[in-house]
A and B are shown apart, each in its own frame.
Chain A
Amino acid sequence: MSQLEMKKDQSMVLQKQMIASHFERLEQAPETKEPVVYTFVPGNLTELIRSFGCLPVLPEINALQSGMRGKSRAYIREAERHGHSEDVCTYVKCDVGMMKSGNIGPTGTRLPKPDLLLLSYTGCYTFMKWFELLREEYDCPTVFLHVPYQGDGVLEPQHRAYVIKQLKEKLIPMLEQISGKEFDEEALAQRLAWSSQAEDDLVAVLEAAKNSPSPIDSYFGGVYYVGPIFSAFRGTAEGAEYYKLLRAEVEARVAAGQGPETPSGRLDEQRFRLVVEGPPNWTHFREFWKMFSDEGACVVASTYTKVGGTYERGFRHDPKDPLGTLADYCGGCYTNLNLPDRVQMLCDYVTEYAADGFLINSVKSCNSFSAGQLVILQEVEKRTGIPGGFIETDLVDPRYFSPANIKNRLESYFQMLAARKAVA
């Protein structure tokens, strides 16, 4: 086993198979005539898409998978060769570069062209421009679902009605058109029930981190745990099965008093319990994780694992109110929350998960995440009294990951926490 490899849980193996088979199915879509809908993780409407027999493609998942598999560097270069600036979101450039290089997805299979671009706008303006670029390329129908920003911290009834109206009048007719099928509310309700079941299990998994030692790493391990529910498998029977298996694994670790598998081995001795804000770096994922696990640092809660849904706050997809629940889901996405809400969420994590530290990983090319992080840092420090750390990396551009520099900051941060603990 190389230094950065690690022991895989059964759920990880299963997830890999699920993702591979989904990409194979996508490759065959032009022959099987299954319509393909490109959409983004925050505010995704996978149950609705799937209820029409369509297959979802999530470009930012492809980009991060390309980053993890060492392919993003070439794709980003390709996009820059076509004139995209260094400052553009690297997810966008990775996707554009992949498209320009023949649209071979991260698992090595070809991705089909979209029959529909479905943008559920939930706070990231870059997503909108990204799909405009794709529309130029593919010349296919586009639906822009406008989800009102929760500036006041709540999704007002009129906002909810506004989203439902768009679903009824714009999206559903378009899905009927590209699939040739009529909207089937019962089929949607069935999928929402699977979602709800998976969400219950996912919340149990993430909340298991309240134990000491935590049986999971809620950031580095967490991104694997949310993989199926963030990508194509929310509202599917196999997705629900996956989360049942994952939950059992995690509960077994709790019962045995075990920590999670990490690149440094099983982390039973946890010196630091951290809350992390911001997405991880994907190009050096294991190396980055090892910088934490080598120091005995375990992430007990993270906001990134909530960008596809803030289920721990109580929301579940409700089969009894299919369209209303989709509107509620979109409105409550992490990216659609205002700063006070995000600060409160982090403060709650620090308290509920008994964290020693709070760390922000700021992403150079992601203004949507990083613009408010200074306020978040200062507010969380003020309210919780624990020291915040701040590091900077990138999503999928390996040029912006400087290992010595990041390790230096992390070590400094951990040593500071240790010094403070020693005098506490």
Chain B
Amino acid sequence: MDCFIGIDLGSTTTKAVMLDSHGEVLGRGITNSRSDYDRAAEVAKTEAIITARFNLLRREVEKVAGTELLEQLLEAFRLEQLLVQLGRLEELIHDEIGGGVSPDLQGAAREGVEHIFRKIRHEEDARFNANDRRRRSDFFRDIVGSAYFRLAEEIGNEGGASFDLLLSLYDKCIILVENEPLELGFHQHIDPALARIGEPPAARKGVQEAASIPLNVQSSVGTGYGRVRLPFPKENIRSEILCHGLGAHMMFPGTRSVLDIGGQDTKAIQIDASGIVTRFQMNDRCAAGCGRYLGYIADEMNIGLHELGPMASKSTRPVRINSTCTVFAGAELRERLSLGEAREDILAGLHRAVILRAMSLLARTGGVDDEFTFTGGVARNEAAVSALRQLIEENYGQRTLNISPSSIYTGALGGAVFALRGAA
């Protein structure tokens, strides 16, 4: 089967989208960029190929075994991938204890770490067995990090290894895991995943058929902040402006205005009826009010990035925020907390401030047309969406606001469409 890949190397996350020759999405992949674009591109692409396999699998398995079994298999596969990464993380932390922790603390540290990893494995097994499909972060760091911090805090409170020690061990090793080329591919983990769900024959048959279909990548187009790192010819490197415009057009053909808030950039784009960019504006070098700003706020509050939006949505009285300067994000937050403002209200104000900054860029491109699409990682944040909806209406009146559940993949989708068109 011929396929076409778009890779969007963002400053925070790297995304890949794989299309078939009819322009249908076969697979998607995402990973943290963590300043290692080469590795991130490889991981995202691998994941896109894996999900493409799963889509092929879906066609085969759903016919004979139904959706539920397929979802179970997918969850089992993800769990197998997570366990590989978890095993490596534990190994690295033990190495770090041996090399970097004073001998009198090593015993308690090892004991604490073993306890944490045992518990995480147990919790993940329990989650799988309970068929818990609640949405959570796509990233290993976020999933494991929140469990690790919680358990480390318990250990610290109970007089075991200190929380600070356990935290520093995690911080040192998590980046190494993210930057190591672990085997996370389809062929490595599908058998254990099948075993985990009891080897149902229908699923086994579907897996074999899906695995036998060759996936021939005909062309790849790279975009995003780190695109020059890709070993592609110049004509296969496209600006993210063009890719986001085209990606938004593919998702919502009627859209004429696009706002993308990514980690490092905010882009306001106007496109024509064919998805060709007619005008655009981006923030300058300063990343104030971009996704990275929200990331710092989450770090400062010691919560996951995906928890920000739900928390802000509980606000009843948003506060007015003075600065969306990323450098002063912590200071702004602490100042508001010291004034007695509720975390929810501060967060709601921060989200509104982020969107206000984006509104200025939109105005610079000529405003918001009838149909408007919001893309990028921040479009997955419900509080940001709510603030945008409100400000668009205040400034431009009633508008159709499109947000795809796959909005984070918009740039990669545009890239994949360029790859498909270029190969045609």
Check A415/B284 contact, CB under 8 A, given A387-B278, A387-B279, A388-B279. Answer: no
Contact A412–B280 (Cβ < 8 Å)? yes
Closest to B278 in A: A387
Chain A residues with Cβ below 8 Å from B311 are: none
B273–chain A nearest beta-carbon distance, Å: 11
What CA separation (Å) do A99 and B281 show in the bound complex? 39
| Among candidates B240, B265, B276, residue contacting A420 with C-beta atoms closer than 8 Å | B276
* Interface check A285, CB cutoff 8 A: no
* Interface check B239, CB cutoff 8 A: yes
Chain A residues with Cβ below 8 Å from B238 are: 415
Chain B residues with Cβ below 8 Å from A390 are: 281, 364
* Interface check B400, CB cutoff 8 A: no
Closest to A362 in B: B284
Closest to B282 in A: A409
Chain A residues with Cβ below 8 Å from B225 are: 404, 408
Q: Digit string of B247-286 for contact with A (CB within 8 Å is 1, else 0)?
A: 0000000000000000001000000001011111110110
* Interface check A256, CB cutoff 8 A: no
What CA separation (Å) do A340 and B265 show in the bound complex? 32
Chain A residues with Cβ below 8 Å from B274 are: 423
> Which of A377, A400, A402, A405 is packed against the most chain B CB atoms within 10 Å?
A405
Contact B284–A411 (Cβ < 8 Å)? no
Chain B residues with Cβ below 8 Å from A364 are: 284
* Interface check A419, CB cutoff 8 A: yes
* Interface check B242, CB cutoff 8 A: yes
Chain A residues with Cβ below 8 Å from B239 are: 408, 411-412, 415-416
Contact A416–B241 (Cβ < 8 Å)? yes
* Interface check A371, CB cutoff 8 A: no
* Interface check B366, CB cutoff 8 A: yes
* Interface check A14, CB cutoff 8 A: no
What CA separation (Å) do A381 and B365 show in the bound complex? 10
Name the interface size band of chain B.
10 to 19
Chain B residues with Cβ below 8 Å from A88 are: none
Among B201-246, those with CB < 8 Å from A are 225, 238-242
Check A416/B366 contact, CB under 8 A, given A404-B225, A408-B225, A411-B239. Answer: no
What CA separation (Å) do A409 and B274 show in the bound complex? 22
Chain B residues with Cβ below 8 Å from A404 are: 225
Closest to A374 in B: B364
Contact A412–B240 (Cβ < 8 Å)? yes
A416–chain B nearest beta-carbon distance, Å: 5
Chain A residues with Cβ below 8 Å from B276 are: 416, 419-420, 423
Chain B residues with Cβ below 8 Å from A413 are: 280
Contact B364–A416 (Cβ < 8 Å)? no
Chain B residues with Cβ below 8 Å from A185 are: none
What CA separation (Å) do A416 and B278 show in the bound complex? 7
Check A412/B278 contact, CB under 8 A, given A374-B364, A402-B285. Answer: no
Chain B residues with Cβ below 8 Å from A377 are: 364
Closest to A404 in B: B225
Q: Digit string of A394-421 for contact with B (CB within 8 Å is 1, else 0)?
A: 0000001010110011011101100110
Chain B residues with Cβ below 8 Å from A405 are: 284-285
What CA separation (Å) do A364 and B283 show in the bound complex? 13
* Interface check A368, CB cutoff 8 A: no
* Interface check A392, CB cutoff 8 A: yes
Contact B285–A415 (Cβ < 8 Å)? no
Q: Digit string of A81-102 for contact with B (CB within 8 Å is 1, else 0)?
A: 0000000000000000000000
Contact A392–B364 (Cβ < 8 Å)? no
Contact B277–A416 (Cβ < 8 Å)? yes
What CA separation (Å) do A411 and B241 show in the bound complex? 9
Check A412/B242 contact, CB under 8 A, given A378-B366, A387-B279, A404-B225. Answer: yes
What CA separation (Å) do A374 and B281 show in the bound complex? 11
Chain B residues with Cβ below 8 Å from A416 are: 239, 241-242, 276-278, 280
Chain B residues with Cβ below 8 Å from A423 are: 274, 276
Chain B residues with Cβ below 8 Å from A402 are: 285
What CA separation (Å) do A403 and B239 show in the bound complex? 15
Contact A419–B242 (Cβ < 8 Å)? yes
Among A266-323, those with CB < 8 Å from B are none
What CA separation (Å) do A415 and B278 show in the bound complex? 11
Q: Digit string of B342-366 for contact with A (CB within 8 Å is 1, else 0)?
A: 0000000000000000000000101
A238–chain B nearest beta-carbon distance, Å: 41
Q: Digit string of B362-379 for contact with A (CB within 8 Å is 1, else 0)?
A: 001010000000000000
What CA separation (Å) do A374 and B364 show in the bound complex? 7
What CA separation (Å) do A387 and B265 show in the bound complex? 21
Q: Digit string of B83-122 for contact with A (CB within 8 Å is 1, else 0)?
A: 0000000000000000000000000000000000000000
Q: Digit string of A343-383 for contact with B (CB within 8 Å is 1, else 0)?
A: 00000000000000000000010000000001001100100
Chain B residues with Cβ below 8 Å from A378 are: 366
B291–chain A nearest beta-carbon distance, Å: 16
> Which of A404, A412, A416 is packed against the most chain B CB atoms within 10 Å?
A412
Contact A381–B282 (Cβ < 8 Å)? no
Contact A412–B366 (Cβ < 8 Å)? no
B241–chain A nearest beta-carbon distance, Å: 4
Check A420/B241 contact, CB under 8 A, given A378-B366, A390-B364. Answer: no
Closest to B267 in A: A412
Chain B residues with Cβ below 8 Å from A412 are: 239-242, 277, 280, 282
What CA separation (Å) do A377 and B279 show in the bound complex? 11
Q: Digit string of A249-262 for contact with B (CB within 8 Å is 1, else 0)?
A: 00000000000000
Chain B residues with Cβ below 8 Å from A381 are: 279
Contact B285–A392 (Cβ < 8 Å)? yes
What CA separation (Å) do A287 and B242 show in the bound complex? 24
B293–chain A nearest beta-carbon distance, Å: 16
What CA separation (Å) do A395 and B364 show in the bound complex? 23
> Which of B238, B274, B280 is packed against the most chain A CB atoms within 10 Å?
B280
Chain B residues with Cβ below 8 Å from A400 are: 285
> Which of A388, A408, A415, A423 is packed against the most chain B CB atoms within 10 Å?
A408
Residues of A in contact with B (beta carbons under 8 Å apart): 364, 374, 377-378, 381, 387-388, 390, 392, 400, 402, 404-405, 408-409, 411-413, 415-416, 419-420, 423
Q: Identify 9 new A-B residue pairs, CB closer than 8 A, beyond the known A388-B279, A409-B282, A419-B277.
A: A392-B284, A392-B285, A402-B285, A405-B285, A411-B239, A412-B242, A412-B277, A416-B239, A416-B278
User: Lowest 5 CB-CB distances: which A-B pairs, in order?
Assistant: A412-B239, A412-B241, A402-B285, A392-B284, A416-B277
A-B contact pairs, 6 of them (CB 8 A): A378-B366, A387-B278, A392-B284, A419-B242, A419-B277, A420-B276
